[in-house]
Chains A and B, each alone.
Chain A
Amino acid sequence: SQQGEEDPQALSIQEGENATMNCSYKTSINNLQWYRQNSGRGLVHLILIRSNEREKHSGRLRVTLDTSKKSSSLLITASRAADTASYFCATDENTGKLIFGQGTTLQVKP
């Protein structure tokens, strides 16, 4: 079962612009995580936000979580060509399962 649904599916921006990706989910969660995947490679963890947190920062990344709306957003500020990748949200239920969304493909043009 797919928990997280991401929006948009694809995003193309110019270097220096901000990129925002959204994730919606359906059930109660323990935490929500964001991952990055370069083409065909393994996923790399970016940031984790717990259900009792509303906002979290890590470098150029800012994640928000609204549990009342069951949604999260990932903001990448001052994007670089090297940020070109697919980004996935994953919801961590209290069952030991981490369920991934379908991802947003981000292209940052130099």
Chain B
Amino acid sequence: EAQVTQNPRYLITVTGKKLTVTCSQNMNHEYMSWYRQDPGLGLRQIYYSMNVEVTDKGDVPEGYKVSRKEKRNFPLILESPSPNQTSLYFCASRGGPLTGELFFGEGSRLTVL
């Protein structure tokens, strides 16, 4: 089954404790992206990747890092989480940088205390 898988789905952590949210897709997609969703603000793009080893900042990259060492994986790293990073995070992928629909993961709800 074609899917985008995120882990963990739920996480409560404390300020400053590094964490990684993993994202994996099994559709051989070139393009992957991370979004955060907050009430009243819609979805905002954090980082995206056009292909392996190519990443670029979205609209709200501060406090986040990403890497794209292999095509299927695109982890989101919070080096020193802060309470304002409490949010619902979505990973998404699509076939190419300029083509078609995005396929979304089920989301990771992160709470930073």
Contact = CB atoms under 8 A, between A and B. Distances in A.
Contacts of B45: 97-99
B103 A45 contact: yes
B98 A100 contact: no
B31 A96 contact: yes
Contact of A98 (B88, B102, B105): B102
A100 to B, nearest CB: 4
Contact of B40 (A42, A48, A94, A102): A102
B31 A42 contact: no
Contacts of A48: 100-101
B44 to A, nearest CB: 8
B57 to A, nearest CB: 10
A60 interface: no
A47 B31 CA distance: 19
A58 to B, nearest CB: 12
B75 interface: no
B61 interface: no
Interface residues of A, number: 24
Interface in A41-77: 41-45, 48
Contacts of B92: 43
A97 B101 contact: no
Nearest to A5: B42
Contact of A33 (B33, B40, B88, B101): B101
A88 B42 contact: yes
A100 B43 contact: yes
A44 B92 CA distance: 11
30 contacts: A1-B59, A30-B98, A33-B101, A33-B102, A35-B102, A40-B109, A41-B106, A42-B90, A42-B104, A43-B104, A44-B104, A45-B101, A45-B103, A48-B100, A88-B42, A96-B31, A96-B56, A96-B97, A96-B98, A97-B45, A97-B48, A97-B58, A98-B33, A98-B45, A99-B59, A100-B35, A100-B42, A100-B43, A100-B44, A102-B40
Interface of A: 1-2, 30, 33, 35, 40-45, 48, 88, 90, 92, 94, 96-103
